[in-house]
Each structure stands twice: as structure tokens, then as C-alpha cells.
Chains A and B, each alone.
Chain A
Amino acid sequence: MKLTVWTYEGPPHVGAMRVATAMEGLHYVLHAPQGDTYADLLFTMIERRSKRPPVTYTTFQARDLGSDTAELFKTAAREAYERFRPQAMIVGSSCTAELLQDDPGGLASALALPIPVIPLDLPSYQKKENWGAAETFYRLVRAFAGAAGQRSAAEPRERRPGARPRCNLLGPTALGFRHRDDVREVTDLLGRMGVDVHVVAPLGATPADLARLGEADFNVALYPEVANVAAQWLKRTFGQPLVATVPIGVGATRDFVDEVARVAGVDPAPALAGEPSRLPWYSHSVDSTYLTGKRVFIFGDATHVLAAARVAAEEFGFTVAGLGTYSREFAREVREAARAHDVEALITDDYLEVEAAVADLQPELVLGTQMERHVAKRLGIPCAVISAPVHVQDYPARYSPQMGFEGANVLFDTWVHPLMMGLEEHLITMFRDDFEFHDGAAPSHLGTAALRADRASEPEPAVPSRLSADEAAIGWAEEAELELRKVPFFVRGKARRNTERFAHEQGVGLITVETLYDAKAHFSR
């Protein structure tokens, strides 16, 4: 048993819903109690989808237990078929139904519906949402692409002479972080190289589209968390090479273009010509001096975290102060990346641990999920959202991809937005005693009144501190406190912690102005 307050991932059947809701012509009959219908609102409210997810819940009750929950399932499946007339159906259990062991797959096949019915086995007490999405997608791909006929992996893939190479884009789902926009951006990018997108799946695909997956020349796994299992199977079954670079950031997008060019045998030049992204120049412009070396903490799903670490270091000149993921399936990759940045990876799905790490590291920017947004807000640290889970405001009305060259522009804007602009930060440091540049001053484009009100109403962060009792016992001389207050507020937390740590190491009981500056000298590189 594990105490959980906020979770990064839902149960695995929610992952299956993300696949089903992304697709067309597919219906999901879920053996589940009534409360589980809450999952609909994730799609209709958070993502603002205008249609109900294609899911029928059996909503069995206590009185049905032991007598006729199986009958209830059959009725629900039969009625769902008649009402929605899908091309295919997936059936499965939520956590409660899993304990009943009614076998939705067997019950559905007994109905002999005139459409393919794919049973899902998603162990709710072991696995989570992304795993459920990947497994569901894999089962569907196997069922439909597999049925369309196999080809030996060894058989050379011949293209019709003169035909453009074709690839499938795998992994985008409903409720994904910017999936819809990423698909458009990557499709355009491939188009500029003369590569056509054959099938996008699951987003927008029908079961019939899945049957055509094997016809493409190669696959692109946009979101490995969801796509990898299916992509590996397609590789084995159809000999389709897999482009595994995720094109988030300028460098990764260039690598992606090169990899596609190699796999498809096309010229990368048209996609790279000109200045496809403004990010490199923006990062080189002098204003960005103030970004250099900013300490950033990164947490989210593995795909976005791995990409963000590279972008932060190579394309913004940030220092990666902490890196972690809740995607345990990709712990190895994230650990490797963390090593490259000389930090220890935080692999956890407990947001309290993440909060403690942020409080401890006092980064100057947090890149994370909606959970980190809250954590950062409480700690008064700027934050930008880079990964699911996200909330309604992270489904913007405007085109806002993360991938490709336009995606890199979006990254620049969204990561820099919560920070002080360079010149502004400079002025604050120069005039820090000026009334207009007082502590509460937010970046001028963010609306100071709102921020001040916010801070006033927010409770003191009761952050689990990692300071030892010794460190906490260290006192501050009054003039040292006053001096500390002259440090700009956005680095003050860090200065306080560093000084206390220094004092502790030096065995100093009372921090004076001297200690403060000794510590500053000690920690400055």
C-alpha cells in the first residue's frame, strides 16, 4: 500500500481510453463501477473535446456482485455495438472488475458480434496509464496490421519507382501534451523532405487505417512511452526501420532530419535550409546572457524530460540542476542523461519527493508538469510546463507544438516567459532598493498586482526540509538578515540555503555579513 495524494499517471484503463478516444470507429466497453465514469471529464473538460469519449461503462453495483455482473457486461457490449456501430471494439476491466474476474474478452466473444473485438488485459494493481496506452495500442496494431498480412523482416522493402517514401507517425493520443500540433509540425517537416505521412496512429486513425500500417517504408515514434512496443513489433513483423529521435529542440530536430534522410534515402537539405528556427539567434542575442547558467530543475515524462535536458543545456545555456521522471519504464535512459549533466536522476511518482528536491535545490526555473507548477508556485520559483499531466490552460487555442523548428520557437518563448527579461533583471539588480523594484515585483509582463495578491494569500510553504537540525538551528545576525534582503528575491532562497549550509560546514553558529559574503565566495564558481 502506498499513500498517494496527487498522481502523475492514472490507472492503465485511462491509457486505453486515451487511445480509444484518439481513434475513430473504435468503441471501448469497460467493465467498471459508476464512479469510474469520471474519466470522461478528462477529455471533455481538460482537453475540451467536443465529443464524449467512445466508452461504455457497465456501472455495476454491489447488488450485482456475484449474481449477474457478467450478464450486465454482455448487455452493455451488445447495446454499445447496436448504438454506435463501431468498426471494432476493445473490452476490458477497471481495477474493481479485475477483482471480479468476469473475463470481458470471453464474454464479448460469446456475443459473436460481427466486428473484431480485442480483449485488453491491463493489470490495474501493477501498471499505470502510459503502460496501458502502449499496451492497448500494441494490441490494436497487432490485431489489425497483423491481420493484413505479414511480410518477412528480411524481405527488402521495394518502393515503386518515382514514388515518395512514406512513414507512419506513431504515438499521439488524446489528452497528450500538444500531440495534435506536434503531428502537424512533423508532417510539414517530413513533407519538406519529400516524405509522405502514410498513417498517423492512434490519433485520428480508424481500425482500417491500422491495417495499412505495414505498407509504409518506415515508422517514426513520436512518443516512445506509447509507441515503442507497437513500433518494435512493426519492425520485427514488417522490417520497417524505426526513427527513434524525438524532434524536440533545434539540435534534436536536425538529428531527426538526418536520421529520416538516411532511412528514407532523401536529401535533408530542404528541411534545414534557411533559418528554420529563431531559437539559436534568440539564445545568442545579448539579452540571453541573463539566461546563461540559470539553474533549472526538470521533471516529467521521459520523452519530454530527456529532450528538455538537452535543450536547456545546449540551446539556452542553462545548468541542469536536477532531472527526473515518473516514467519508470525509461528510468535507465533518464539516469544516463542525468549522469551526463552531473546530477542524480530522481525516479519517482511521489510528488512530495519532487517537491522536497525542488525545495532543496532552489533552482531558478522549474520545467515540469502541472504538479511542478504548483510546487514551484508555492516555493516562489518560476515554472514552465513541458509534459503531461497538464491542465486545461495547457491546451492553448493557438498552434503551439513542442516538436520541430516551430516547436523550438515555442520552447524559447514559454521557458523564458516566466523569467525576468535580461535587461529587466539587470535593472532590478542595479536599483534593488528602488521602490518600484521591490521584492514583490514580478516580471513586468506578468502583472504585479495579481502576483502580489497571490503571494499574500498563499500559505507559507510547509516544505519538507532536508536541512539537518543543526542547519536549522543556525541563527542570523540582524545585519546579515538585512544584507540578505538586498539580494534579489528570485535568488534569495538559494543564497539563504547556501549560506546556512556553508555556516554549518564551517561550524559557524551565527551568520554575520562576513559569513554571507564568505559563503558567496565559496559557492561562486
Chain B
Amino acid sequence: MNCLTAHSPSDKGAVRNGRPLLRERGQHEVFCGLTGIIWLHRKIQDAFFLIVGSRTCAHLMQSAAGVMIFAEPRFGTAVIEERDLAGLADMHGELNRVVENLLDRRPDIRLLFLVGSCPSEVIKLDLERAAEHLSRAYAPDVRVLAYSGSGIETTFTQGEDACLASLVPVLPQEPDTADRSLLVVGTLPDVVEDQFLRLFTALGIEPVRFLPPRRSTDLPAVGPQTSFLLAQPFLDGTVRALEKRGAQRLAAPFPLGAEGTTAWLAAAAAAWGIDPERFQQATELGKKRAERALERYRDRLAGKRVFFFPDSQLEVPLARFLANELSVDLVEVGTPYFHQDYLAPEVDLLPPDVTLSEGQHVDKQLERCRAARPDLVVCGLGLANPLEAEGLTTKWSIELVFSPIQGYEQAGDLAELFAQPLDRRQRLGV
């Protein structure tokens, strides 16, 4: 599991990819990895996510979802109670009972994730073992896997990393004799996946598979013939698991904005040896459309000073997009975890004078933010209204995780997400 920052209160001396990095330790104001279930359960349509945790975990899921996904969502919490804490043996029995009831009620479920939480980690409840045991009991109808989304081990999007990493060992083996294949790793909205698939086809790259798949019965095969592209920057555990299966990562920036999308596609094209002309042909239209869409926003965003609080690890690619394609001024780009291997291609594209920060001491960061008086603050839901009340304009970062923002066709939508709050403040006359 990824751990967060070094345990020094504030470490100004650190350097990443040749850039100074402000590393901080203090109160983090970021969700835990459980939150990833909110999008993962929509993506994998026959999976259920059973958190083994406390009332707090259940309450987090309800609150973070923002709106309640009704029609019985495919997640829930097995809430540990006082009497469970009395004896461990009993707890496994209890878990079996909950799972049995659940699967009785939801015969449509083919993949069940047991999701660890802080309480289950602290009492050392062995969910991996429980999952193995349950998997045997319910084979072949239901596969049971375990991962941890606990707040002591994962920050927000790292929950998706842990989930996908738990899937990697059960992916089918691709025969060594197979043709070369491309795997796109990280949850993307279906509509974005379909767009990318069309682009890859136009480039002549196939087969292309996606992790996570839309159904657990379509697990993508992997093997030494697999090259993979990260669609999201927070997937360190998944990368390592895939590499163990012999797959190779193609280094690339992330597919945000026209520039990012082109570079991302180009990484695959280079690996497949696609000739530049064909690449140009396949991508030209989308790229032009994206640039045209962005044109409309450049006036509104150019020169605006933007401050990022750490949230999803998407901050660095987003900042690169804002700076290079919309001429935004970056004040500080905070990220919960700065993974140099995956961010190197991004950092290379960043303007030279940007302050990068990793980890968080929320009160100190708020002080810096207030002092800088940026035009736009990208932050979590707990901070947004208080900052608005102080006269700052904010963008809820969680929307950047929940909305389709990747690829050419979404470049304009992504710009719109940043332009909206500025527009709101400008229009209001009271």
C-alpha cells in the first residue's frame, strides 16, 4: 500500500524531478480510500463492495456520495459492533452470515469485494483469508476478493488502486504467443472509453482492453505481451501488480486536455510503431475540436491564479492542463502523494516556477492560500463554503473525479468546470 508523506512536520528541502517539493505533515482534509467505491460500483456492474467497518464508514459513504444512489446501491457496510469485538472467531462467522444474506438477496452479484477499513485493519481482521474461504464456498457463481480502503492506509483515490491491484492476480493469463495487446488502466466513464477505443482502432492498435472492466465476467487477459497505459495517476499498487504479471507500462502524461490526450495516445502509437502520418490523421480531428472548445475558455481563464488543495492525485495533470492550454497561473499545486515515476512526464511539461506540495497540514495550507488570494481555489467539500464566505472562489475537487474529463471530446467540459465558479461570482450582483 502506498504510504503518505515522510513523517517530518514540514520538509522544504525535498526535491522531485528536479523541482522543489514542499512536504507537509499535519491534519489531512482528504477522504479515505473507501470513497472510491462510489465510482467503482457504478463501473463494474455486477460487483458488490462490502465494507467491513464501523458506523463511521457507512456514514462517510452516505455523505460523500453527496446524493444518495437509490435503487439499492451495490455497496454496503458490515458494521462491527461491540459484541463482535469481544472475540475474533465469532467475527468470521458473523461476516459469513452477512455475506450469505447479501448474496441471497442479490443473486445478480458475481464479484464481491470485502473492503477493509481502519477498524478492521486495527483489529487485524484477515479479510484476505476470509475472501479466499468465501470464494471457495461460492465458486463458481461468485468470486470474492479483498482489499483495504482504510483511511490509515489509503487516501481517497488510492482505494481504487487497492481495488484494481486486488483484481490483477485473478486476470486471465494471456498466452505468450498472443499478439501484443494494450491495456488501459484506471476507471474511465464508459463514454470516454468508447471514444478512446475508436481512436485506438483508427491508429491500428488492437486489441485494447480496459481495467476495470464493465462486468467481472470480462476480465482482461494480461501477460508479457501486454503493454499498459495509465488513465489515472494514482495506481502505483496496480502498476506493480501488473508488472509482476510481465506487463509493461508505457510512460506518458495523462489524457487531460488536447496536449495530454495527444501525448498519451502518442505513447501507445510509438510502442506500436505507428507511422507519424497515420497518427496525425487519426488524432487531428479530435485534437482540433478540443482546441476549438478550449478557445472559448481561454479568455475567461487566462491569467487567473489557481491554488490546488490535495485531493485525488489528479492535481498535477490538471494543473499542467490549466497552465499550458488555458494560460492559467499556478500558485500552489498540492497533491496527497507525489509519485515521481508516473508524474515525471507531467512535471516536464509544467511551467518552471510552480510550487508543488505533498501531504498536508490543512491549517498552514489555508494560511498560505489566504495570503496568496488566488482567483480560484480547487478544494474539497469541507473547505469550499468557508473559503467562499471569505470571498475566495472555489471549485469542488470531487467533481473532477466524478465527471468525464479525459480525452479530446471532454477538454471543453473540463475547462468549463473551472470557468463555472468564476462565472458565478462574476454574475452575482449581491
Residues of A within 8 A of B (CB): 1-7, 9-11, 13-14, 33-42, 44-46, 48-52, 56-65, 76, 79, 83, 94-96, 99-100, 123-126, 128, 370, 374, 377-378, 458-459, 462
Residues of chain B with a CB closer than 8 A to A44's CB: 381-386
Once bound together, how far apart are the Cα atoms of A185 and B424, in whole Å?
34
Q: A10 — nearest CB in chain B belongs to which residue?
A: B59
Question: Is B102 in contact with chain A by the CB < 8 A criterion?
Answer: yes
Distance A48 CA – B7 CA, assembled complex (angstroms): 34
Which listed residue (A4, A62, A126) contacts B153, Cβ 8 A? A62
B55 touches A126 (CB 8 A): no
Are A96 and B80 in touch, CB under 8 angstroms?
no
Q: List 5 A-B contacts (CB under 8 A).
A: A1-B84, A11-B56, A35-B35, A37-B30, A44-B384
- Among B3, B28, B121, B382, the most chain A Cβ lie within 10 Å of the Cβ of B382
Closest-by-CB residue of B relative to A374 is B70
Report chain A residues within 8 Å CB of B29: 34, 37, 40
Report the nearest A residue to B367, measured CB to CB: A83
**Contact across chains for B27 and A5 when beta carbons are under 8 A apart:** no
How far, in angstroms, from A39 to B62 measured CA to CA in the complex?
11
Contact of A96 among B26, B54, B75 (CB under 8 A): B54
Q: Please, which residue of chain B has its CB at the minimum distance from the CB of A100?
A: B122
7 tightest A-B CB contacts, nearest first: A35-B32, A35-B151, A40-B382, A50-B389, A33-B151, A96-B118, A95-B54
Determine if A99 and B55 form an interchain contact, defined as CB atoms under 8 angstroms apart.
no
Q: How many of chain B's residues touch chain A, expressed as a range?
A: 35 or more
- Interface membership of B34, Cβ < 8 A: yes
Kindly identify which residue among B95, B121, B382 contacts A52, using a CB–CB cutoff of 8 Å: B382
Say whether B317 faces chain A, with CB atoms less than 8 Å apart.
no
Chain B residues near A95 (CB-CB < 8 A): 54-56, 118-119
Q: What distance in Å separates the Cβ of A455 from its nearest Cβ neighbour in chain B?
A: 14
Q: Which residues of B contact A46 (CB under 8 A)?
A: 63
What chain B residues lie within 8 Å of A459 (beta carbons)? 71
A38 contacts B382, CB within 8 Å? Answer: yes
Indicate whether B393 reaches chain A with its CB closer than 8 angstroms: no
Q: Are A124 and B72 in contact (CB under 8 A)?
A: no
Q: Mark B63-98, 1 if CB is under 8 A from A, else 0.
A: 110101011110111111110110000010011011
A34 adjacent to B28 (CB under 8 Å)? yes
Q: How far is it, in angstroms, between the C-alpha of A63 and the C-alpha of B31 when the chains are bound?
A: 18
- Is there an interface contact between A35 and B68, defined as CB atoms closer than 8 Å? no
Query: A57-B27, A60-B152, A62-B1 are known contacts; what are 16 more A-B pairs with Cβ within 8 Å?
Result: A1-B78, A9-B55, A35-B57, A35-B118, A36-B32, A37-B28, A39-B63, A40-B29, A49-B385, A57-B28, A65-B122, A96-B119, A124-B55, A125-B54, A126-B82, A374-B68
Which residues between 356 and 404 of chain B lie within 8 Å of chain A, taking CB atoms? 363, 380-386, 388-389
Contact B63 A34 (CB under 8 A): no
Please, which residues of chain A bring their CB within 8 A of the CB of B55?
A: 4, 7, 9-11, 95, 124, 128
Q: Are B383 and A52 in contact (CB under 8 A)?
A: yes
**Other-chain contact of B77, A3, A40, A41 (Cβ < 8 Å):** A3
- The smallest C-beta distance from B85 to any residue of chain A, in angstroms, reads 6
Choose among A49, A59, A100 the residue that contacts B28 (Cβ–Cβ < 8 A).
A59
Tell me the bound Cα distance from A462 to B73 in angstroms: 12
Does the CB pair B152–A33 fall under 8 Å? yes
Contacts of B4 in A (CB 8 A): 61
Query: Is B123 positioned at the interface, with any CB of A under 8 Å from its CB?
Result: yes
- Please tell me if the beta carbons of B32 and A11 are within 8 angstroms of each other in the complex: no
Contact of A2 among B68, B81, B121 (CB under 8 A): B81
Residue of A nearest to B382 (CB): A40
Output the nearest chain A residue to B3 by Cβ-Cβ distance: A63
Q: Which of A4, A34, A48, A94 contacts B155 (CB 8 A)?
A: A34
Whole-angstrom CA separation of A37 from B300 in the bound complex: 33
B101 sits at the interface (CB 8 A): yes
Instruction: Verify if B150 is at the interface (C-beta below 8 Å from A).
Output: yes
* Chain A nearest CB, measured from B148 CB (Å): 9
B77 touching A58 by the CB < 8 A rule?
A: no
Task: Decide yes or no: A96 and B59 within 8 Å by CB, A3-B98, A52-B382, A62-B121 being known contacts.
Answer: no
- Alpha-carbon separation in the docked complex, A49 to B383 (Å): 11
Q: Which residues of B contact A3 (CB under 8 A)?
A: 50, 76-79, 98, 101-102
> What CA separation (Å) do A6 and B72 show in the bound complex?
9
Q: In the assembled complex, which residues on chain A have CB atoms less than 8 Å from the CB atom of B344?
A: none
Asked if B71 contacts A462 (CB within 8 A), the reply is yes
Which of B4, B30, B54, B55 lies at the interface centre, i.e. has the most chain A CB atoms within 10 A of its CB? B55
B208 within 8 A of A: no
Cross-interface CB contact of A6 among B26, B62, B98, B123, cutoff 8 Å: B62
**Docked-complex contact A7 and B30, CB < 8 angstroms:** no
Q: Are B80 and A125 interface neighbours, CB within 8 A?
A: yes
Contact B389 A51 (CB under 8 A): yes
Which residue in B52, B71, B385 is a CB contact (below 8 Å) of A378? Answer: B71
In the complex, whether B58 has a CB less than 8 A from a CB of chain A is yes
Partner of B81, one of A1, A61, A64, A79: A1
A352 to chain B, nearest CB (A): 8
Given known A-B contacts A14-B59, A94-B56, A61 and B80 have beta carbons under 8 A apart: no
Instruction: Say which residue of A5, A41, A83 sits within 8 Å of B382 (CB atoms).
Output: A41
Q: Among the interface residues A59, A83, A125, which one has the most CB atoms of the partner chain B within 10 A?
A: A59
Task: Give Cα distance in the complex from A99 to B121, angstroms.
Answer: 11
Q: Which residues of A contact B75 (CB under 8 A)?
A: 5
Contacting pair B63 A41 (CB below 8 A): yes
A90–B33 Cα gap in the complex (Å)? 28
Q: Select which of A38, A57, A125 is within 8 A of B64 by beta carbon.
A: A38
Give chain A nearest CB distance to B358 CB in angstroms: 14
Contact (Cβ within 8 A) A5 B386: no
Q: Which residues of A contact B382 (CB under 8 A)?
A: 37-38, 40-41, 44-45, 52
Q: In the complex the two chains form, is B28's CB within 8 Å of A1's CB?
A: no
A143, B298: Cα distance in complex, Å:
58
Taking a contact as CB atoms under 8 Å apart, the answer to whether A33 and B79 are in contact is no
Residues of A close to B32: CB separation below 8 A = 33-36
Shortest C-beta distance, B349 to chain A (Å), equals 30
- Which one of B54, B78, B82, B118 lies within 8 Å of A11 (CB-CB)? B54
B34 contacts which chain A residues (CB < 8 A)? Answer: 35
Q: Note all chain A residues with C-beta closer than 8 A to B58.
A: 4-5, 7
